[in-house]
Amino acid sequence: NAGVTQTPKFQVLKTGQSMTLQCAQDMNHNSMYWYRQDPGMGLRLIYYSASEGTTDKGEVPNGYNVSRLNKREFSLRLESAAPSQTSVYFCASSDPRGPTDTQYFGPGTRLTVL
Amino acid sequence: GQQLNQSPQSMFIQEGEDVSMNCTSSSIFNTWLWYKQDPGEGPVLLIALYKAGELTSNGRLTAQFGITRKDSFLNISASIPSDVGIYFCAGTGGAQKLVFGQGTRLTINP
């Protein structure tokens, strides 16, 4: 099992450019999440998907869109990148059928917006 | 919304020393989780706590779910160089969305 995989690992964008961050999990989990991590602020939830076909906003959704393509894949799109979106982005998945909503994280995408 | 306050923000210790860090919440949590993040990697789950008062160990790591359900601590005994990293507490309340603390950065001097 690869767990949670993310592509790309690094990306540099110019202000106003668009891009999509890809995430896939092979653990048959129902729920998937996108976080951003900024220095000194921990991880903040951008969007999540409790199950295939559903998505909901998290703490910091502005400037982002998501697509739950199927049970395995959950993508995050920046339509018009801004320098404030420079961050490390993590995808996670969990199976709420377990005893707790324990989340497993991918390796992250390091995004710089110039 | 729910918030977690994690302390200390950073620690500088000698190899072999014990480490203690904690998290407090403004509201009751149903689950407490402790993660470790190595440089350039995603967080990895260390310990999960499901009941108030629960004390759980994972090797040299011990964590407890506070009886008030508003706090948790993590202890690391006899630290070694590979313990270096950022430790995050996280918890879920009724909404089932995970809330993270700000992290504790651990540095170890050999």
Q: Do B43 and A40 touch (CB under 8 A)?
A: no
Tell me the chain B residues in contact with residue A40 when contact means C-beta distances shorter than 8 Å: 9, 102-103
Tell me the chain A residues in contact with residue B1 when contact means C-beta distances shorter than 8 Å: 59
Q: Residue B95: pLDDT above 90?
A: no
Q: Residue A101: pLDDT above 80?
A: no
- SS3 labels along chain A: CCCEEEECCEEEECCCCCEEEEEEECCCCCEEEEEEECCCCCEEEEEEECCCCCCEECCCCCCCEEEECCCCEEEEEECCCCHHHCEEEEEEEECCCCCCCCEEECCCEEEEEC
- What local confidence, expressed as pLDDT, does residue A39 receive? 80
Per residue in A49-98, pLDDT (tens digit) is 988 889 999 989 999 999 998 999 999 999 999 999 999 999 999 876 65
Of B30, B42, B45, the CB nearest to A107: B42
Bridge partners of B24? B5, B71
Distances in whole angstroms, Cα of residue A42 to Cα of each of A24, A112, B59, B66, B103? 23, 18, 25, 22, 6
Per residue in B65-76, pLDDT (tens digit) is 999 999 999 999
Q: Residue B1: pLDDT above 90?
A: no
Query: Using beta carbons and an 8 Å cutoff, which residues of A are at the interface with B?
Result: 4, 33, 40-45, 48, 58-59, 90, 92, 96, 99-108
Q: Is the dihedral of CA B74, A59, A39, A81 positive or negative?
A: positive
